[in-house]
């Protein structure tokens, strides 16, 4: 369907179609599903084409300059004539303009923008219930405007080096002054209390959007794949993830295998690219939605985060810790036990970070402020404390940040109150390991000292032999 719409947009209209006003989807007043002609001069009538998004249809080109005249305001006409005026305004809005040239059709563009504003206000005000024929023509007009080919990104086909996504200025499609109002009109129509849902479903049906969903999902996936594995460059990743967040929120249970594969193959690898800071908030929301929908995915998500955990980028690690906390809040004990060893090995490394600006250590210690996470740790303290105790002791003994000292002391106290015997056992093992390490270090130093002395003796003996020989 989507391909047919795109092909239809390039079909040249015949003369019979061009001179038929009903090919806009708007016919004559008084007949069901029809309306009156647009106020244009005869010079523009040859440009009239079908505005319906049906297969083989074409969109109307812009009329010649000066051929479109403003229509009266709704408040300036009797109530009995407003439905007819509504249809005429819809027909005005079926014209599409070239926004790459700001001067061309400037007057007609402004007339269309003002007309769209009036349509939005008319629907929002609820001052007059629109007829079924008006609803049908309105959806046709909306379809003509929003079902379109997207323009290329500003950096494509220019040969220029892509700029840093964090420094790039936001880019709006040139036709956005019209498109924004068209989307607003659709939204106001859908949420209006005056809209009859039975009637609306006849026009906002599967043919309007639902049939395109598989194509849209595939296209979005391809954008993500190219971004992750090829370019690491795309200006709309955050916006796409924001859309997907609301879609994921509506997933039915049990979750389809297709959706789980999307999580594994797309969302988790999206943690790899460098510009993750630009879209991390939206990505984190999508990830957490999956875990909240199906708690069994928590182990997969956590191991995925550990796989892409940054090594030298503390700012990125802070983002990962924030996301990790949200995931752990939705994690059940069984899934937690599957990944807790590698998880707390990584957290232990974060605890001892000495970064002087971004206190990664402090952020990691804040995990113990979360009651749910503390509950999971308490249930598995015999494993977790053994892993992180050396990091806690290292902070107490040598970390430069006083806030980290205080937080570390509080956590040590928490573990001591949780299980005093376990804490003492961990402390004993740590002291034994430290003593053994010190002994090994001393032995190594002694061995190096002996080697140095032997080298000196050998060099001295060599010099004496040389003097005797000479």
In a domain, residue 22? The reply is: no
Tokens of 340: 């807790």
- Label residue 63 exposed, middle or buried (CB < 10 Å: 0-12, 13-18, 19+): buried
Domain coverage including residue 349: 302-418
Q: How far apart are CA 379 and CA 362, in angstroms?
A: 23
One domain for residues 73 and 194: yes
Q: How many CB atoms lie within 10 A of CB 271?
A: 22
Domain membership flag for residue 1? no
Is the same domain home to 217 and 196?
Answer: no
| 213 and 185 inside one domain | no
Q: Are residues 261 and 315 in the same domain?
A: no
Q: Report the b/e string of 66-101 with b at 16+ CB within 10 A.
A: ebbeebeebeeeeeeebbebbbbbbbbbbbbbebee
How many angstroms from the chain centroid is the CA of residue 50? 36
Residue 291 pLDDT exceeds 70? yes
Handedness of CA 98, 99, 104, 105 (dihedral sign): positive
Percent of the chain with pLDDT over 70: 78
Nearest one of 430, 365, 433 to 399, comparing CA atoms: 365
Cα distance between residue 396 and residue 384, in whole Å: 18
The total number of structural domains in the chain stands at 3
Does 448 have pLDDT greater than 60?
yes
Do 218 and 324 lie in one domain? The reply is no
Please tell me whether residues 274 and 351 are part of one structural domain: no
The answer to whether 20 and 48 are in contact (CB under 8 A) is yes
Among 110-119, 148-157, 246-255, top mean pLDDT goes to: 110-119
Among the ranges given (256-265, 273-282, 349-358), the one the predictor scored with the smallest mean pLDDT: 349-358
Residue 53 CB: number of other CB atoms within 10 A?
23
pLDDT at 135: 92
Q: Is the pLDDT of residue 78 over 50?
A: yes
**Among 293, 326, 357, where does a domain finish?**
293
pLDDT, tens only, 356-370: 766 899 999 999 999
Place of tokens 């309105």: 138
Same domain, 324 and 399: yes
The pLDDT value recorded for residue 306 is 97
Q: Are residues 317 and 277 part of one domain?
A: no
What mean pLDDT is predicted for residues 106-118?
Answer: 93
Q: In terms of domains, do 321 and 395 share one?
A: yes
Residues 268 and 324 in one domain: no
My answer on whether 193 and 80 are in the same domain is yes
Residues 418, 422, 424: CA angle, nearest 5 degrees = 105
H-helix or E-strand spanning residue 442: helix 420-469
Q: Using one digit for the tens of pLDDT, what is the confidence trace for 228-261?
A: 999 888 778 999 999 999 989 989 899 999 999 9
The mean predicted confidence, pLDDT, of the chain is: 81
Q: How many CB atoms lie within 10 A of CB 426?
A: 24
Mean pLDDT for 430-454 is: 90
In a domain, 220, yes or no: yes
* Residue 200 sits in the same domain as residue 75: yes
Given a contact cutoff of 8 angstroms between Cβ atoms, the answer to whether 272 and 208 are in contact is no
Tally of CA atoms within 13 A in the half-sphere of 297 that contains its CB: 23
Cross-strand bridge partners of residue 268: none
Helix (H, G, I), strand (E, B) or coil at 68: strand
Q: Which of 376, 394, 418 is the last residue of a domain?
A: 418
Answer with the residue of higher pLDDT: 44 or 268. 268
pLDDT bucket at 31, cuts 50 / 70 / 90: very low
Joined together, the tokens standing for residue 134 give 């008006």
Residue 17 has pLDDT above 80, yes or no: no
- Return the minimum-mean-pLDDT range out of 127-141, 259-273, 276-290: 127-141
């Amino acid at each position: 369907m989507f391909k047919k719409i795109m092909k239809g947009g390039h079909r040249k209209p015949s003369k019979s179609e061009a001179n038929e006003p009903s090919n806009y989807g708007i016919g004559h007043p008084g007949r069901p599903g029809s309306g009156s002609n647009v106020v244009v001069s005869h010079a523009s009538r040859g440009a009239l084409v079908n505005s319906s998004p049906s297969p083989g249809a074409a969109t109307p080109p812009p009329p010649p300059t000066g051929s479109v005249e403003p229509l009266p305001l709704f408040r300036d006409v009797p109530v009995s004539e407003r439905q007819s005026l509504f249809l005429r305004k819809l027909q005005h809005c079926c014209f599409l303009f070239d926004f790459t040239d700001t001067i061309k059709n400037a007057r007609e563009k402004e007339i269309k923008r003002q007309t769209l504003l009036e349509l939005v206000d008319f629907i929002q005000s609820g001052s007059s219930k629109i007829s079924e024929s008006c609803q049908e023509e309105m959806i046709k007009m909306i379809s003509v405007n929003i079902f379109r080919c997207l323009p290329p990104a500003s950096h494509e086909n220019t040969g220029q080096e892509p700029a840093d996504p964090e420094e790039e200025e936001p880019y709006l499609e040139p036709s956005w002054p019209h498109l924004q109002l068209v989307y607003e009109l659709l939204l106001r129509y859908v949420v209006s209390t005056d809209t009859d849902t039975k009637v609306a479903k006849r026009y906002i049906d599967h043919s309007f959007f639902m049939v395109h969903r598989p194509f849209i999902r595939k296209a979005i996936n391809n954008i993500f794949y190219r971004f992750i594995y090829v370019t690491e460059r795309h200006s709309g990743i955050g916006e796409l993830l924001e859309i997907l967040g609301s879609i994921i929120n509506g997933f039915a249970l049990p979750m389809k295998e297709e959706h789980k594969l999307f999580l594994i193959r797309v969302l988790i690898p999206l943690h790899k690219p460098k510009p993750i800071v630009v879209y991390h908030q939206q990505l984190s929301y999508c990830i957490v939605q999956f875990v909240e929908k199906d708690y069994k995915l928590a182990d997969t998500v956590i191991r995925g985060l550990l796989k892409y955990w940054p090594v030298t980028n503390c700012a990125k690690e802070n983002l990962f810790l924030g996301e990790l906390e949200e995931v752990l809040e939705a994690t059940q004990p069984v899934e937690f036990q599957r990944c807790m060893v590698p998880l707390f090995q990584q957290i232990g490394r974060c605890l001892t970070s000495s970064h002087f600006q971004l206190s990664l250590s402090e952020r990691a210690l804040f995990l113990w402020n979360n009651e749910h996470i503390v509950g999971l740790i308490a249930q598995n303290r015999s494993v977790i404390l053994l892993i992180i105790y050396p990091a806690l002791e290292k902070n107490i003994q040598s970390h430069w940040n006083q806030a980290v000292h205080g937080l570390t002391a509080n956590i040590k106290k928490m573990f001591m109150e949780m299980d005093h015997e376990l804490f003492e056992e961990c402390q004993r093992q740590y002291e034994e390991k430290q003593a053994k390490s010190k002994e090994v270090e001393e032995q190594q130093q002694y061995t190096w000292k002996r080697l140095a002395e032997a080298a000196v003796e050998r060099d001295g003996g060599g010099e004496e032999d040389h003097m005797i020989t000479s």
